[in-house]
Amino acid sequence: MADKQSRHATRSLRYPTVADLERLARRRIPYFTFDFLKGGTGEELSCARNYRAMQEIEIVPRYGHALAEPSTSTTLFGRTYASPIVIAPVGMDGAMWPGAPRFLAETARESNIAYMPSTMSTMPIEDVARIAPQNTWFQLYGFPADDHAVTFDLIRRADEAGAQALAVTLDIPAPARRVRDMRNGMLPRMRLTPEKILAMLTRPAWLAALSREGAPALVNLRPYCAPGADRKELEAFMRTRRAGGGITWELMKRIREKWKKPLLVKGVMHPGDAVIAREIGVDGVVVSNHGGRQFDPSPASIDVLPAIRAAVGPEMTILMDSGIMSGADVLKALACGADGVLVGRAFMFGLGALGGEGARHVATLLNEELRVALVQSGACTIDGARQLSVRHRGAWAPEDFRG
């Protein structure tokens, strides 16, 4: 334990922010995997909008009162976690850092935070849940063929594996045009070129991890392909079966009937959609523009969050993602109406920068930053954060939404 604390203290001095980890990750992983992680859709305006909107939020601190012991602890869906931070789903996570989902699951278990692996993770949901049985959620993509036979089988598997919550991704009606990936020869499928081989050879730490962990693949899809299906066949299945498509409110009603544990809809940006979700019995929504990776004209997630909170009231659980890069950002999201946040890129930057220890470093770093922000603001607790005075110039008003 002392050695672990000493290593963290040393890392905190060398890499005190997620931005430091991002810079190091760029130098340690191949350019095409970094671009896959960092990039967005179109001109990447919505990516930039997420970060800019978060930076422009102001919180007025309160001083002169006796301070309670700061606590980042919170309750989500009846379970107490050490922090409102949830490790977000990242597709093809093992390509960014080989073995990523294992390290993320171990971090979730050890830090007592939730982890929501993706359907497109490079580790099966069953294995993730074995590593972190009390901390695993599951992010579901729809597969509309055969009346969603694969969709419902994934739900069955997540339930039997012991996933604590299910988040159905709503915001992928069609594949996005991710220009970085197109330029890098990653779409519609990755082409291995001499340039990519050279890029891998010049990243020895990543290459050594790849040698240890094996080539990443969309292993959650293996049961639905021919025995022994390789990476190309799994990716072809994903494309031809329109992964992520076909999610409708009628389907959500069917999923609600099947899934008896906490159920979320991920990708909500309109208050009207959040109200529909509440009315059909969904337990929570994730306010998200998919990290700027789906629809470039979309507003920043944080800017629609207050109107969504106003529409559904205080009882429904609201999580938010897209643009969270520090503990202060977490505080801003809580003050604007969120119950918790999903963080994806920051954890992957940590892995890319520091290998397996990077995920733990990011969890500790964000939690320490949040603890400091709670004290400095005078909030001290997660409940206190919701009472803070916020100036949020970019927030959408309820009357800004049509329909």
User: Residue type for 332, please?
Assistant: K
Could you give the CA distance from residue 60 to residue 47 in angstroms, rounded to a whole number?
26
Tokens 């993320």 sit on residue: 104
CA-to-CA distance for 341 and 322, rounded, in angstroms? 9
Q: Tell the residue number behind the tokens 């604007």, with chain if given.
A: 336
Would you say 166 and 263 are in contact if contact means Cβ atoms under 8 Å apart? yes
Catalytic, 65? Answer: no
- Candidate list 148, 290, 361, 392, residue with the active-site label: 290
Please count the other Cβ atoms lying within 10 Å of the Cβ belonging to residue 218: 23
What 41-45 contacts at long range (C-beta under 8 Å, 24+ apart), as own/partner pairs, is 41/176, 41/177, 41/178, 41/179, 41/292, 41/293, 41/294, 41/295, 41/296, 42/176, 42/177, 42/179, 42/296, 43/179, 43/296, 44/179, 44/292, 44/296, 45/292, 45/296, 45/297
Q: Six-digit token pair at 58? A: 């102001």
**Bond prior to 188 in cis (omega within 30° of 0):** yes
Query: Scanning the structure block, which residue is given the tokens 């597969």?
Result: 143
Q: Quote the crossing angle between the two packed helices 357-377 and 327-335, to the nearest 10°.
A: 50
Residues 6+ apart with CB under 8 A from 356: 99, 102, 103
Residue entry with tokens 């949040």: 370
What's the token pair of residue 231? 């990476």
Q: Which residue has the tokens 């999923």?
A: 255
End-to-end CA distance of the chain: 55
Distance CA(293)–CA(87), nearest Å, equals: 18
Question: Of 338, 335, 337, which Cα lies nearest the Cα of 390?
Answer: 335
Q: Which residues are catalytic?
A: 290
